[in-house]
Chains A and B, each alone.
Chain A
Amino acid sequence: MRNPYLPYPVRIDKITTETVDRNLKTFRFVFLNPEDEEKFAYTPGQFAELSIPGKGEIPIGIASSPTEKGFVAFTVNKVGLVSSYLHNMQEGEVMGIRGPLGNWYPWDEMEGQNVIIVGGGFAFTTLRSSIIYMLDPQNRPKFKDIIVVYGARNPGMLLYRDELAAWEQRDDIHMHITVDGTDDPDWKYNVGFVPAITEKKITSAEDAIAIVCGPPIMIKFTQPVLEKLGFPPEKIILSLEMRMKCGIGICGRCNIGDQYVCKDGPVFSLAKLKKMPPEY
């Protein structure tokens, strides 16, 4: 059995600054040993440990989709020791990634359903992975309507702006982009908080599953909106964060009750969460 703590060596292939405050960057990695890419077979919703020798490891959601070949990508917010160091690294430098880790969005259950995606702030990463995955011609027929509500504080804080604009033009995905506020007179999309826009734009819970990712406050106010629309807690899917180390359910750090967020999560249905201690 492969040592589950040992990262695959990768090279930073491309760095993109995503937001105007420069606090979010997307890192594309290429595996030093091509055969490792196959071993790193992942499903949207999973995460990995970015492993920087000399600094440490941080759990980050996988932002690329398995349908994109030749690289894996992560979008990282600059917060503390490891993420700040990573922000100063250059294309071409070598580090490690370890994974894929955790469970994924319930793709089997989502087949044949309308998929509602509600995202806020930089938690949009695994949602990007999911959208790219669903829009792949091989996969698109498996889902009915795809409706996305995505918000950030202001236009400059939206991730993946080029892709958002391209999705806006398509008719096989319905985008509702929003910002909390803006002084840009040319702003073409919505203004308002994510829960309010969700209430306005989502009209039915019929044959639908909702995936919600964002800051705790957004999740807290989006939940009642979805419940009012008639989403049962089994069909509201959330992705959680906890401080982590091993990422494989051994170090004991990330538990909520008897569940390890790193192994039994990070994806949980609201129905499941309601039975767990509210300690997250």
Chain B
Amino acid sequence: MTDKIFTKDEWLERLGGVKGDYKVFVPVKDGDFHMFAPIDSGKKPDFSYQNTRLSPKGLVYPQSERIFEYSLDKQDEDAFIVKEAPKDYAPQAVVGIRPCDAQAFQIVKINFDNKEFRDPWWVQRFESSVLIGLGCNEPCDTCFCNSVGGGPFSEKGLDALLFDLGDAFLVRVITEKGQAFVDKVGGGAEAAQDAVDKAKRLALEAEGRMTSKVPTDKLKDKVVLDLFNAPFWDEVAFACINCGTCTYLCPTCWCFDIQDEAYGKQGDRLRNWDSCMYPLFTLHGSGHNPRDKKFQRVRQRFMHKLKYYVDKYGDGVQCSGCGRCVRYCPVNIDIRKVCARMNAYEG
């Protein structure tokens, strides 16, 4: 497949034109930060961003989602019988997603879609999504995607990839799903060799600019109990205030809660993102709590991402290197340092 080239104006205008076939999400500026919003939200699309504060995981896995509904009215024939809540799985396109965030969907896929169970809502929304990436010309100094199997122009998990050539986008199609989307967008021109060369150069330069190198190679050979009992967890956790920011911003954190809400004679079952950083997460009805201490919860987060996941699935760490938890942790707890420490620990 040959690459296509669009002027930025043409790209934006044509994106607006696929509305009928796809719900299109693009990065927009919201206050001091960026976020993904529908292209017709009234906010200007802004592709000159580093990354959104909140990861786009919510577009496939909403922060709060109505999963079931039921009647609590005894007069109704189907009272107290739980039913699927109607949902819209029309195709959606996430345009301008960073490669780390696209890879994150691949990392969590094994959790939501495995041999034994499929999470029907995650799977349907994921399958109806097309991910059009935007390579990172200027990675942040907290980014470390290239240490965890990705890279600023990695194609993993993407359906197409955009290269920002200054006044134009070079569009590289990766999958059939990506091809179908680009066909719908239409327009553009075949990319000339000098544009392709320029794209290649940009990618190489970006790689070269990444300073964070996080070693993960020895994690899988460690004995889980050695790492669990390592002496550094108290020190790692010392400043943590258990705010949960790291887990909510993380594109690979998947934990959720299920709650019922009743409104008069009608009720819903909802699922909401949850976080292992909170003591309630593991509190038994009896009052017993296996993780009642802060260091245990901090240890759980790092062990889950960097050891349990590695052991369970044998496919790298549960982290795509986006660096959000490093940037936004109010007390500067840094997963890169913790990972290096775990990787180097000799029991």
Contacts and interface: CB of A to CB of B under 8 A. Distances in A.
B278 to A, nearest CB: 11
Interface string B173-191: 0000000000000000000
Contact of A279 (B112, B258, B274, B290): B290
Interface in B46-70: 67-68, 70
Interface stretch (B79-87, B153-161, B207-215, B321-329): B79-87
Interface string A63-85: 00000000000000001100100
A194 B11 CA distance: 74
Interface in A231-279: 241-243, 245-246, 248-253, 255-258, 263, 275-277, 279
User: On chain A, which size bracket covers the interface?
Assistant: 35 or more
B256 A9 contact: no
Given A216-B288, A258-B309, A251 B228 contact: no
Contacts of B112: 250
Nearest to B256: A251
Contacts of B68: 5-6
A99 interface: no
Contacts of A32: 81
Contacts of B288: 216
B19 to A, nearest CB: 31
Contact of A245 (B117, B256, B308): B256
Contacts of B274: 251-253
Given A9-B80, A94-B80, A251-B256, A243 B308 contact: no
Nearest to B259: A56
A221 interface: no
B81 A248 contact: no
A56 B285 CA distance: 14
Contacts of B90: none
Contact of B282 (A56, A243, A275): A243
| Main SS class of interface, A | loop
Contacts of A250: 111-112, 117, 119, 254
Contacts of A252: 111, 254-256, 274, 276, 304
A87 to B, nearest CB: 13
Contacts of B286: 79
B294 to A, nearest CB: 14
A88 interface: no
B220 to A, nearest CB: 12
B81 A80 contact: no
Given A252-B276, A257-B224, A6 B290 contact: no
Interface string B7-38: 00000000000000000000000000000000
Contact of B255 (A95, A251, A277, A280): A251
B91 interface: no
User: B84, B114, B285 — which one has the most chain A CB atoms within 10 A of its CB?
Assistant: B285
A54 B72 contact: yes
Contacts of B258: 5, 56-57, 245-246, 251
A178 interface: no
Q: Would you list the 6 A-B pairs with minimal beta carbon distance, nearest first?
A: A252-B255, A79-B285, A258-B308, A258-B312, A54-B262, A94-B80
Given A94-B79, A248-B117, A253-B255, 9 more contacts: A1-B118, A9-B82, A54-B72, A241-B284, A250-B119, A253-B281, A277-B225, A277-B303, A279-B228
18 contacts: A4-B118, A4-B119, A9-B80, A9-B81, A54-B267, A57-B258, A79-B286, A243-B284, A245-B257, A245-B258, A251-B256, A251-B257, A251-B258, A252-B304, A255-B300, A258-B311, A276-B224, A279-B290
